[in-house]
Amino acid sequence: MECAHHEYNQESQQNSGFLRRNLWFCNEEVKTCTYNMLVRPILEYAGEVWDPHSNIQKQRIEMIQRRAARFCCSDFKRYSSVTTMLARLCWDTLEERRRRNRLTMLYKITKGLVGIEGKHYLMPANDTRTRGSNSLKFQRLYTRLDVHKGSFFVNTVADWNELPDEVVNSPTVEVFKQRLHH
């Protein structure tokens, strides 16, 4: 999986370079739109199931978006704040976007909206010591292997159990996404 992600990372950097070479004269809106259409989908491809757990992997992916923010804002000054640029562009970190996408996928699994049967992977939490603030908690999955730490169910169940009741009991996917985003 690491090798496959490296290829996507390279492709997104190539697309970013293409945009920088050909759209340097365009306004912020055009640059942002092309980034969102051509680069970000590559960075987010299969993000629900591949979510890096090592800091170096996370930093490499985020760096592409941070460079894109500089490009979109046409601000390449050394001491300019990229965090401020990201806020101005209303861009969440890619890590946060992956988290929301994973949680949305788990919501779909629990509601039977996708072809994955949750009963094979998710066990209701019957222990009062399970952390979380909702009534639809699942048993946390523990692993000793680093490879497994970044897997979908291990990461997502931990995040799911922290969600409030009103989010996990949303009537539709759209409502779930809205409540999750706020």
Tell whether 15 and 77 lie within a shared domain.
yes
Same domain, 84 and 130: no
Listed residue (30, 26, 19, 11) closest to 68, CA to CA: 19
pLDDT at 65 over 50: yes
| Residue 109, domain extent | 97-181
Same structural domain, 6 and 87: yes
Using a cut of 0.85, tell me whether the model's pTM lies above it: no
Residue pair 73/35 in contact (Cβ under 8 Å)? The answer is: no
Residue 86 burial (C-beta neighbours within 10 Å; 0-12, 13-18, 19+): buried
Shared domain check, 117 and 48: no
Q: Tens of pLDDT along 71-82? A: 999 998 999 999
Average pLDDT over residues 17-36: 79
Q: What pLDDT, in 10s, does the model give residues 13-22?
A: 666 666 666 6
Residue of higher predicted confidence among 103 and 47: 103
Residues 135 and 112 in one domain: yes
HSE-up (13 A, CA, CB side) for residue 124 = 5
Using DSSP's 3-state secondary structure scheme, residue 124 falls into strand
Of 91, 124, 148, which residue is a domain's last? 91
Looking at the structure, tell me whether residues 74 and 124 fall in a common domain. Answer: no
How far apart, in Å, are the Cα atoms of 171 and each of 154, 157, 176, 177? 25, 20, 7, 11
Looking at the structure of the chain, the number of domains it has is: 2
Of 56, 91, 126, which residue is a domain's last? 91
